[in-house]
Amino acid sequence: MKKVGVAILGLGVVGGGTYQILTEHREFYRKTQDVDIVVESVLEINRERALALGVPEEKIASNIAEVISNPDVNIVVEVIGGIGVAREFVLAALNAGKTVVTSNKELFCKYSHELERAAKRQNVGLYFEASCVGGVPIIRTLLDGVQANHITSMMGIINGTTNYILTKMSADGVGYEEVVKEAQRLGYAEADPTADVEGYDAAYKLSILSSLAFHTKVPFAKVYREGITGIAKEDISYGKEFGYVLKLLAIGKNSEKGIEVRVHPTFIKKEHPLASVNDSFNAVYLTGDAVDDVMLYGRGAGALPTGSAIVSDIIYASTHSENKYSTFKNNASAEKDVKFVQDFESAYYIRLTVEDRPGVLAKLSSVFGKYGISIVEMIQKSAGEDGKVPLILITHTTKELSIRNAVNKINALDGVGQVDSVIRVVS
């Protein structure tokens, strides 16, 4: 039986889950895959942690050189994260002729061209299923399952932390700050939640997924990004009155106008399949020209779900003699002839606080008219003590730039009021 030696760089949450799956399922893979996958080495500064997980002392390496010079190691798993030593170690492993499996979205998003070049030069594999949407097999789906299609659109809830926060805000009617604190206390959000709540994590993933879906490099810099820190609980509850649920959506589209990639809070109709993806669950909703709609749903993070993606990559690499690389020209930047849509179109939810007196609506209407913005629905709430009223509008599909111009114009009008929130709506 073929024997494959694995090294794990980093025994944190995901590294620990990977170690657990590999050791507990070793016999199962011998039976079902006809391959004996053995953890030959781990690199972990915290030796106590490695020992507590059951790693034999002699398998704990002291440095990367020891790992990559070990002839029994065929596959190196990188679960350190970030783009510092992780990049250095992954390149060292590839250059030493080891196949690499990584969960590192930032690394893959920013340096896939460099890593893939090294892998191809050495004729070794480079696998990254765990970099996007944890245990949900979206990369394999894009690389294999839906290759028959032109993928025209992709919408995903691909960050569990923000989905947890928005779900709680919606269910309990509480504000962002309060929920973030609770999420940190429960270990759902990092002590510094910036990467998640400002949409960076989702944007790294969208850059990778849309490059695979649209067969062209979609650099991180092309992804429009907006996080959830400005979301007020009022917006979530007013949205509900229109039948909407708020999600941090990653949206990728490929049409004759070009490629459009964006991550931002978005209202979707409560009947949409993505609307019922709650808590820390993730989902990706794809549309292909032949297959039509496909939705994948599951856990986007966690020791065992992410470990599941890593170990599936290890099995793939162990049981295929040909390596699988990306299906696009993997350069640092986008190809010159690919157009990216900057001024995208959407429907919009706009919340204003306005003076409650004659002529105010007329002034607002004239601004919307000037920029070609058509209103679908509107509600006005009762006046507060200051005599001002919340006014909430939903627009027809319009250009982003028109909305921005209209908002600036309204905010500059004397005695009308101000725009408090603008949230895009999937119509």
Q: How far is the CB of 27 from ligand HSE (least distance, A)?
A: 30
Phi, psi of 70 (to 5 degrees): -80, 115
- Beta 417-425 vs 258-269: how paired, if at all? parallel
> How many alpha carbons fall within 13 Å on the CB side of residue 308?
15
Greatest CA separation for the chain: 83
* Cβ-based nearer residue to ligand HSE, 225 or 409: 225
Q: How far is the CB of 22 from ligand HSE (least distance, A)?
A: 20
* Residue 301 touching ligand HSE (CB under 6 A): yes
Choose the binding region for ligand HSE from 33-41, 153-161, 225-233, 315-323 (rule: CB under 6 A): 153-161
* Cβ-based nearer residue to ligand HSE, 60 or 311: 311
* Cβ-based nearer residue to ligand HSE, 160 or 298: 160
Phi, psi of 140 (to 5 degrees): -60, -35
Q: How far is the CB of 161 from ligand HSE (least distance, A)?
A: 3
* Cβ-based nearer residue to ligand HSE, 112 or 161: 161
Measured from the Cβ of residue 395, the count of other Cβ atoms closer than 10 Å reads: 23
Can you say how many angstroms the Cα of residue 196 is from the centroid of all Cα atoms in its chain?
A: 9
Q: How far is the CB of 105 from ligand HSE (least distance, A)?
A: 6
Q: At what angle do helices 13-24 and 303-319 cross, to 10 degrees?
A: 60
Out of 98, 110, 205, 409, pick the active-site residue: 205
Residue position matching structure tokens 């909305």 = 403
Choose the binding region for ligand HSE from 86-94, 154-162, 218-226, 363-371 (rule: CB under 6 A): 154-162
* Residue 16 touching ligand HSE (CB under 6 A): no
Choose the binding region for ligand HSE from 33-41, 115-123, 159-167, 323-331 (rule: CB under 6 A): 159-167
> Which residues, numbered 209-268, are part of the site for ligand HSE (CB under 6 A)?
none
Q: How far is the CB of 160 from ligand HSE (least distance, A)?
A: 4
CA distances from 172 to 15, 165, 166, 236, 423 (A): 34, 11, 10, 11, 21
Binding residue for ligand HSE, selected from 15, 16, 298, 300, defined by CB under 6 A: 300
* Residue 196 touching ligand HSE (CB under 6 A): yes
> Which residues, numbered 72-111, are part of the site for ligand HSE (CB under 6 A)?
105
205 is catalytic: yes
Binding residue for ligand HSE, selected from 5, 10, 137, 160, defined by CB under 6 A: 160
Tokens of 249: 């959506």
Q: How far is the CB of 108 from ligand HSE (least distance, A)?
A: 12
Q: How far is the CB of 266 from ligand HSE (least distance, A)?
A: 17
* Residue 159 touching ligand HSE (CB under 6 A): yes
Binding residue for ligand HSE, selected from 201, 235, 313, 400, defined by CB under 6 A: 201
CA 179/CA 167 separation, integer angstroms: 10
Are the beta carbons of 293 and 285 closer than 8 angstroms?
A: yes
The partner residues of 245 in beta bridges, in order of sequence, read 268
Measured from the Cβ of residue 153, the count of other Cβ atoms closer than 10 Å reads: 16
Are the beta carbons of 373 and 402 closer than 8 angstroms?
A: yes
Nearest CA-CA partner of 407 in 355, 370, 356: 370
Are the beta carbons of 278 and 103 closer than 8 angstroms?
A: no
CA 99/CA 96 separation, integer angstroms: 9
Residues at the site binding ligand HSE, with contacts judged by CB under 6 A: 105, 159-161, 196, 201, 300-301
Q: Residues with catalytic annotation?
A: 205
